[in-house]
Structures are given as C-alpha cells and as structure tokens.
C-alpha cells in the first residue's frame, strides 16, 4: 500500500469527502471555501468525490462566467489558495476519477493512491474513498474497472466536450432515479476492511463514499470511521469532517 509519512510538527489532519460540488449548489461551495480557508489543521485530505462530476481537465475555464467551466475554475482557485497555507491531498472518488494529476499539481495539491497509509501521530491510519470495499455492489465494481482503464479514459477524453457533458448528465440522471426509487446501496464489507487494516498494520480506516457517517467496531481493536457527504441545502444540512490527532479521531459538524 502507498504511504504518506507526516512531518513531526503536524498536530492535526482533517479528512473530508463526498462534497459533490456543483454550480447549482452554491451554499455547499461557500461552506467548503470557508473551511479550506480557516481550518486550523496542519493538512487536509480530500478522500474523493469533491466534485459531483468531472469530465476532463479541459472543462475548466477562467472566464469568470457562471457556466460549469467557470465554477470548476473557482474550485481550482480555492484549492490553490488552500495549498499555499497547508498541504492539501486529494484521492479520486467515483465521480471525479478523471481529475488529472497535472491539474492538481498546478494547484499545489498532492494526489493520493487509494488506499494510502497515513503514518501520523505515532500510528497508521488507513485512508480510502471506500468504493473498492463495497464488494456487494458487483455492477458498480465492474463499471469501475471499465472506466478506470487507460483505454476507456483515452477514448472518453477524446470525445468532444459537449458529448462528454451529455454522457455525464445521463449518468447523473440514472443516479438520481436510483436514489428516488429507494434502492439500497451496498456498504463496506467488514471482512475486506479488516484485511486491508491488517495489511496496513493500522487500527483505523477512514473512508467516505457510502454517505453513512458512523463509527464501526470491526473486532480485535480495529475500527472504521465513515465520513458524511456535504449538502448545505438539506434538512438538516450536512457538512462533517473527521479530525485526526495524537488523542484519536473527532467528528466535527461544521453546520
């Protein structure tokens, strides 16, 4: 497993995920911008699905307009400003896996493998988006294997921007239909999570993806902490982070 070794002066690390940023939900963007500017943490780890959808780095424009490209550029500006204050790390999720490493490097953000072992505060913390551990979601895992292949990504990114936008809208529509239908979503497989933790010599797994914020004991002193998604227009609004430190892990509600 990939490893990230924290400098000795770090005292706290903040983890967030599943913000699903999009131009149509400015309240969530504003809350995220405020957090990135003001967190006292020594580093921030974004564990996937920062964006609702990412169809290629060429979708960014800096013309200041209100279209999705202008919104994406504004998000890059937030990342760039935050990275000047403290280290910012990003892990791909199932919505933004096409966000390129060159684009992140331009913002000063470091790309993390999934999973990554964070060596910090005298222990190992296992960080993941979480989707790879949802073993019962067979259809999704097959789709994931397809779209993460270099061949599929090369072919998709070669399509005109307008065609990629239409494909993304279609996928989002299917996702929203599934939510409205009440179809259950697969959760993280306990045996697989334990196996990952043991391989990483870690006791705590931190992940997102499932939108089921909780703390789960996995036996033998192992545990997993699940991040919340962010939605400032929900009732009640959601925007949580998990703060890691030498004293353990703390869930902080930002709203």
| Residue 55, helix vs strand vs coil | coil
- Report the C-alpha gap between 217 and 222 in whole angstroms: 6
- Report the C-alpha gap between 192 and 205 in whole angstroms: 11
In words, the CATH class of domain 2-253 is alpha beta
Cα–Cα nearest to 100, from 138, 67, 54, 65: 54
Percent of the chain with pLDDT over 90: 87
Cross-strand bridge partners of residue 127:
116, 206
- Report the C-alpha gap between 49 and 244 in whole angstroms: 20
- The two beta strands, 12-16 and 43-46, are parallel
Question: Splitting the chain (255 residues) into consecutive groups of 10 residues, what average pLDDT does each group show?
Answer: 97 98 95 98 98 93 56 95 98 97 96 98 97 96 96 96 91 77 84 98 98 97 98 96 97 95
* pLDDT digits 0-9 by tens, 40-78: 999 999 999 999 999 999 988 644 444 656 899 999 999
Say how many Å lie between the first and final Cα of the chain, rounded.
35
- Report the C-alpha gap between 129 and 178 in whole angstroms: 21
- Global pTM exceeds 0.85: yes
| Residue 100, helix vs strand vs coil | coil
Are 80 and 37 in contact by the 8 Å Cβ rule? The answer is no
Domain-wise residue ranges, the chain: 2-253
State residue 45's pLDDT score: 99
Cross-strand bridge partners of residue 205:
126, 224
Q: Name, in order, each residue with C-beta under 8 angstroms of 156's C-beta and a sequence gap of 6 or more.
A: 56, 98, 147, 164, 167
State residue 145's pLDDT score: 97
* pLDDT digits 0-9 by tens, 73-107: 999 999 999 999 999 999 999 999 999 999 999 99
């Amino acid at each position: 497993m990939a490893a990230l070794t924290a400098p000795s002066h770090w005292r706290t690390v903040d983890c967030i995920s599943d913000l699903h940023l999009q131009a149509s939900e400015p309240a969530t963007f504003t809350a995220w911008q405020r957090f990135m500017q003001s967190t006292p943490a020594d580093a921030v780890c974004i564990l996937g699905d920062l964006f609702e959808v990412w169809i290629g780095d060429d979708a960014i424009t800096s013309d200041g307009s209100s279209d999705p490209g202008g919104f994406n550029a504004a998000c890059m500006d937030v990342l760039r400003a935050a990275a000047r204050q403290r280290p910012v790390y990003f892990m791909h999720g199932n919505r933004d896996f096409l966000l390129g490493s060159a684009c992140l490097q331009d913002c000063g953000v470091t790309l993390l493998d999934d999973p990554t072992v964070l060596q910090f505060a005298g222990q190992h913390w296992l960080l993941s988006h979480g989707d790879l551990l949802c073993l019962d979601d067979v259809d999704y895992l097959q789709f994931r294997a397809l779209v993460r292949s270099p061949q599929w990504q090369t072919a998709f990114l070669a399509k005109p921007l307008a065609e990629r936008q239409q494909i993304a809208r279609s996928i989002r529509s299917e996702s929203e239909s599934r939510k409205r239908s009440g179809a259950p979503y697969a959760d993280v497989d306990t045996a697989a999570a334990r196996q990952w933790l043991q391989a990483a010599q870690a006791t705590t797994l931190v992940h997102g993806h499932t939108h089921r914020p909780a703390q789960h004991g996995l036996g033998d002193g192992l545990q997993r902490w699940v991040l919340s998604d962010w939605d400032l227009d929900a009732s009640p609004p959601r925007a949580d982070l998990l703060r890691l430190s030498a004293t353990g892990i703390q869930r902080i509600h930002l709203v």
